[in-house]
Amino acid sequence: MTHEEHHAAKTLGVGKAIAVLTSGGDAQGMNAAVRAVVRVGIYTGARVFFVHEGYQGLVDGGDNIREATWESVSMMLQLGGTVIGSARCRDFREREGRLRAAHNLVKRGITNLCVIGGDGSLTGADTFRSEWSDLLSDLQKSGKITAEEAAKSRYLNIVGLVGSIDNDFCGTDMTIGTDSALHRIIEIVDAITTTAQSHQRTFVLEVMGRHCGYLALVTSLSCGADWVFIPECPPDDDWEDHLCRRLSETRNRGSRLNIIIVAEGAIDKNGKPISSEDIKNLVVKRLGYDTRVTVLGHVQRGGTPSAFDRILGSRMGVEAVMALLEGTPDTPACVVSLSGNQAVRLPLMECVQVTKDVTKAMDERRFDEALKLRGRSFMNNWEVYKLLAHVRPPVSKSGSYTVAVMNVGAPAAGMNAAVRSTVRIGLIQGNRVLVVHDGFEGLAKGQIEEAGWSYVGGWTGQGGSKLGTKRTLPKKSFEQISANITKFNIQGLVVIGGFEAYTGGLELMEGRKQYDELCIPFVVIPATVSNNVPGSDFSVGTDTALNTICMTCDRIKQSAAGTKRRVFIIETMGGYCGYLATMAGLAAGADAAYIFEEPFTIRDLQVNVEHLVQKMKTTVKRGLVLRNEKCNENYTTDFIFNLYSEEGKGIFDSRKNVLGHMQQGGSPTPFDRNFATKMGAKAMNWMSGKIKESYRNGRIFANTPDSGCVLGMRKRALVFQPVTELKEQTDFEHRIPKEQWWLKLRPILKILAKYEIDLDTSEHAHFEHVSRKRSGEATV
C-alpha cells in the first residue's frame, strides 16, 4: 500500500458523519459491530453517531441520536444483545415517520447510515434510501430545512450488516449472532443429555427459527440427534411410523436416550404445523417412552457472544465503514457479509429478494427449491444429517473395504466428532472400520480394534481424544506398521490430527518406495488448537481453544476494570503460529498481540508501553496484551512482564498469566462439532472412491501423489490436496504454512486498539451478485 493510499484511509471520513443503529430482534455480536463502526469511523476522521432504540430513535430524534467517542464503546465487546437498544418501530413504516427521520439526519449532517438487523430492518433502510430525494424536497418546501442543508445531504449511503440468530438471510454464510445462539443451545443439549441418560428419557427440544431451520439443523448435527424437524424439509407422509421405528432402533442398539430437535416453524408436507407437544404425545402413545419437552425460547438470544461472532461483528463493522465512505450516489445499498472467510459486499435488495423467495417457495410447498435457495452450505448440512440419522447400516460386510481411523498429535476438541462421523459413514457404506489407539505408535504395536455403530455413540460432544493420540511419527516403525497393515488388511487410513499428522503423511509417502504395504490411500483431517496445518484455513479444535482464551480474557478484563490502572500479559499456545493470539486479540479487545510471523523489536515494545501510558489517562484504565508462546525466544513473557512493570511504575501495574493446557481441553464448540462431522463424512466418501480406483489384481495399490491428501477448508470450499504438493507451502522448521490468510486481519486489531497505523484498504471486498454466489458457496 502506498503512502498516499494510507493517507487516504486516514482522511477518508473527514467531513463526513455516520449513524449506526441496531434494529429488529437482538443478536449477540451486534455490540462488536457497533464498536468497530465507531472506532474505524473515528479512525478515518468521520464523526459517528449512535442511534438509540433502532428506527424509533431515528424518528424521535433528540437525545436518541448522540455522538459516540472512542471510549464510549469500551467494554462492549463481551456483552450480549445490543447496548444501544433495539425496538420494533411502526412509525418508520409510514412515510410521515421517515420524513421525521430524514429531518433528524439532515439537521446533524449525517448522510451515512449503518443498519445492523434482520431482513425486515434492511428492507426498511432501502425504502428510506430510495425516497431520500423526495423526502428532502418535502422538508425544504415546508421550510423545515434550508436549501443549503438539502444540498449538503444530497444523497444517503446505506450499508447493512445482518444481525439475526436464525441465519435466515440469503447471501451470507453466517449472520451475526448465529454462532452464539448455537453455543446457548448446545450448552443446554449437553446438560439435558446427562439427565436423559440417567432416566432413559426421550427429549424433544424446540429451538427458534420460524421460517429457517438452520439452528435446528446444525444443533442436530452437533449433538447427534435422532431426528430434526425443519420448515424447509418437511418429513414424508408416513413420518410417524418412521420416527417411532428410528427411536426404538436407537434404544435397541443400547442407547439410553433419544433427542429430537424441532424448529418452531416445523411443518408437514401440507403446511400443517408440527409442534413439540404433538411429537411428545406421539412418542408416549406409540412407544410409551418417558418423554419431556423443553422449549428454549429467548435463552438463545442471551449470553455473551462467542469468539466467532465477535470477530465476525468486528470484521463486518470495519468493512461497513469502508463501504459507506467509498459509496457514491450510484452504488446500490449493500450488505457486508462473510463467505467462507472472505469479506464480500452484496446488493442489499438482491439478498432480500432471495430471502423472500425462500419464504414464498415454502408457502407454495416447493420445498426442494426452498432448500436450493438456502445455498450450498445449508444443503450440505442437510445431506450429512440425512446420512448419519436416517440410513440403516448394512448388516453384511461382504464386498467391502477395511478403513482404519486414528488420532495423531496433541488432543484437540472435536477429534471425537470427526472419528464418530468417519466410523459411521464408513459403516453406512458397508465398510469394515477399525480404530487405532495412540496414533502411529498404536498402529505399530497393533493397538487396533473393529468399531461398530454404537462404539462411537455420544462422542460428538466429548472433548480431547477418546482413541488416545501421540506425537510419534511413523518412519522409525515402518516394519511393524507394514506388518499390521497386512495383518489387519487395512486398505485406507484416515488420520485426524495436527502438524504431525501432516508430516507423518509425508513420511508415509516416502516409505511407499520401500514398502508396498504403505501404498494405500490416506487422508489427513487437520485437528489442532494451533491451526498450523498447511492446506487448511481452519483446523478442528481451534474454535474451541479460541473461545476458552476469550472467556479467560473477559474475566481478566473484568478484574482489571475493578482495580483500575492494570495491564495483563497473557501467554497463549500455538507453537510458532500466531493464529490464537491474533484472533483472541480481536475477540477480546487486546491492546497488542505479539506473534512470531510479525517480527517485533525493542522499539515496538516501547511504542506499546507508551500507548498504554496514554491509555491510562483516559477513562479506560486497563490493558490487555497477548503473547504467543514462541513469538520470540529472547523477549519471553517474563521479559515483557518485567519491561512493562519497570516502565509502568507509578502509572500502571502489570500482571501475567500463562493459559497453558486448558486451551486443549473443554467440550467442543458447535463450530468444531459441525466442522469435524462434515470433514469426517467428506473424508470417508473420498476414501471409498480412492480405494475403488486403486484396486488392481485383487489388491489395493495406491502410488500416485493424489492418493495421500490433506482435506482442508480453503476460502469457500473443502478441498483435497496431495501432501507432497503442500511441501513447498510449509516452513518445516517453525511448523507453520508459509502463507496464512489471517495475517491480513492484524491491522484491524491495531486500529481497534487506537494505534495510528496504515489500514491496508487494498484488500478490497469485491461487490458480488447473489445469484452467482450460490454455486460457488462454502461447502462447510
Q: Domains along the chain?
A: 17-175+305-360 (3.40.50.450), 178-300 (3.40.50.460), 391-540+668-741 (3.40.50.450), 543-664 (3.40.50.460)
pLDDT higher than threshold 60 for residue 147 = yes
Active site residue 190: no
Q: What is the pLDDT of residue 390?
A: 65
CA atoms within 13 A on the CB side of 118: 21
Instruction: Decide if 131 contacts 333 (C-beta within 8 A).
Output: no
468: left (phi over 0), alpha (psi -120 to 50) or beta: left
Q: What percent of the chain has pLDDT over 90?
A: 75
Q: What is the pLDDT of residue 779?
A: 38
- The predicted model gives 586-612 an average pLDDT of 94
- pLDDT classification of 760: cutoffs 50, 70, 90: low
pLDDT higher than threshold 50 for residue 218 = yes
Highest mean pLDDT among 253-257, 341-345, 641-645: 641-645
Neighbours of 239 (CB within 10 A): 18
CA atoms within 13 A on the CB side of 635: 20
Could you tell me the three cell numbers for 24?
429488529
Amino acid at 106: V
**26, 60, 166, 537: the active-site residue:** 166
Rounded Cα distance, 580 and 596, in Å? 12
CA atoms within 13 A on the CB side of 188: 25
pLDDT higher than threshold 90 for residue 560 = no
User: Comparing 302 with 739, which gets the higher pLDDT?
Assistant: 739
Q: What is the pLDDT of residue 561?
A: 76
Q: Is 353 annotated as a binding residue?
A: no
Q: What is the CA radius of gyration of the chain?
A: 27
Q: Is 208 annotated as a binding residue?
A: yes
Amino acid at 28: Q
Q: Which of 291, 276, 300 is nearest to 214 (CA)?
A: 300
CA angle 602, 607, 612 (to 5 degrees): 125
Q: What is the pLDDT of residue 207?
A: 96
Q: What is the pLDDT of residue 761?
A: 46
Q: Which of 203, 193, 268 is nearest to 230 (CA)?
A: 268
Q: What is the pLDDT of residue 397?
A: 55
Q: Is 629 annotated as a binding residue?
A: yes
Q: What is the pLDDT of residue 331?
A: 87
- The predicted model gives 352-381 an average pLDDT of 90
User: Comparing 16 with 769, which gets the higher pLDDT?
Assistant: 16
pLDDT higher than threshold 50 for residue 776 = no
Q: Is 574 annotated as a binding residue?
A: yes
Q: Is 770 annotated as a binding residue?
A: no
pLDDT digits (tens, 9 = 90+) for 454-472: 899 889 999 999 999 999 9
pLDDT higher than threshold 70 for residue 753 = yes
Amino acid at 161: L
- The predicted model gives 647-668 an average pLDDT of 92
- pLDDT classification of 309: cutoffs 50, 70, 90: very high
Rounded Cα distance, 113 and 95, in Å? 18
Rounded Cα distance, 589 and 32, in Å? 10
Q: Is 39 annotated as a binding residue?
A: no
Q: Is 673 annotated as a binding residue?
A: no
Q: What is the pLDDT of residue 699?
A: 85
pLDDT higher than threshold 80 for residue 692 = yes
Q: How far is CA 280 from CA 203, 233, 292, 567, in A?
A: 8, 20, 7, 54
Rounded Cα distance, 310 and 505, in Å? 35
Instruction: Decide if 449 contacts 434 (C-beta within 8 A).
Output: yes
> What element of type H or E holds 450?
strand 448-450
Q: Is 628 annotated as a binding residue?
A: no
Q: Is 166 annotated as a binding residue?
A: yes
Q: How far is CA 180 from CA 215, 342, 522, 539, in A?
A: 11, 20, 35, 19
The DSSP secondary structure of 602-631, one letter per residue, reads HHHHHHHHHHHHHHTTSS--EEEEEEETTS
Rounded Cα distance, 210 and 204, in Å? 17
pLDDT higher than threshold 60 for residue 766 = yes
Instruction: Decide if 612 contacts 577 (C-beta within 8 A).
Output: no
Neighbours of 329 (CB within 10 A): 10
Q: What percent of the chain has pLDDT over 70?
A: 94
Rounded Cα distance, 223 and 670, in Å? 9
- pLDDT classification of 46: cutoffs 50, 70, 90: very high
- The predicted model gives 630-659 an average pLDDT of 95
CB burial class (10 A; 0-12, 13-18, 19+) of residue 614?
exposed
- pLDDT classification of 777: cutoffs 50, 70, 90: very low
Q: What is the pLDDT of residue 4?
A: 46
- pLDDT classification of 659: cutoffs 50, 70, 90: very high
- The predicted model gives 496-505 an average pLDDT of 98
Ranges 62-71, 89-98, 395-404, 566-575: which has the least confidence: 395-404
For 236-299, strand residue ranges (E) read 258-263, 291-295
Q: What is the pLDDT of residue 171?
A: 77
Instruction: Decide if 365 contacts 271 (C-beta within 8 A).
Output: yes
Sign of torsion over alpha carbons 324, 326, 329, 333: negative
Rounded Cα distance, 539 and 516, in Å? 31
- Residue 82 CB contacts under 8 Å (≥ 6 apart), including other chains: 22, 26, 27, 30, 31, 34, 116, 163
Name the 3-class secondary structure at 598.
coil
Q: Is 716 annotated as a binding residue?
A: no
- Residue 692 CB contacts under 8 Å (≥ 6 apart), including other chains: none
**Torsion angle (degrees, nearest 10) of CA 138, 142, 145, 149:** 50
Q: What is the pLDDT of residue 125?
A: 92
- Residue 639 CB contacts under 8 Å (≥ 6 apart), including other chains: none
Alpha helices by DSSP H, listed for 109-238, are 119-141, 147-152, 178-199, 214-223
Name the average pLDDT for the chain.
91
